[in-house]
Amino acid sequence: MPIYEYQCPECGEFEKEQRMSDPPLEKCPHCGKRVTRLVGGGGGFVRRGGNWVSKMASSGDSPQKAADRFMKQTVGEVAEDLSRNRKPGFH
């Protein structure tokens, strides 16, 4: 669930975890005054599913699993570079 930032004239800035489908807050949960939702830079995105490869090892990964993950990513990068730089007649 995303976290939205709000500005209250009395309490200052605060964050609220809400669904994207939820309407923006109109009142401060602390003092009840009218709030404004701020435009934030966002925290990026989260990759989900089994098709994403990451070079970063998880704290629970075995050394072999971390090495395998790194190699899959590296081999994929090399294959992309080769396909981009392939010259006609080179096989």
- Same structural domain, 28 and 61: no
- Same structural domain, 30 and 53: no
Please answer whether residues 6 and 38 qualify as being in contact, where contact means their C-beta atoms are separated by less than 8 angstroms: yes
- Which residues partner with 17 through β-bridges? 3
Residue 43 lies in a domain: no
Q: Record the pTM.
A: 0.45
- Find the domain containing 9 and state its range: 3-37
DSSP run (H or E) holding 46? none
- Give the total number of structural domains in the chain: 2
Residue 44 lies in a domain: no
Residue 56 lies in a domain: yes
What is the chain's pLDDT, residue by residue, as a tens digit (91 residues)? 788 899 999 999 999 988 889 999 999 999 999 999 998 665 555 566 666 555 555 566 677 776 666 666 666 666 666 666 665 555 5
Query: Cα dihedral sign for 60, 62, 67, 72?
Result: negative
Residue 42 lies in a domain: no
- Same structural domain, 87 and 57: yes
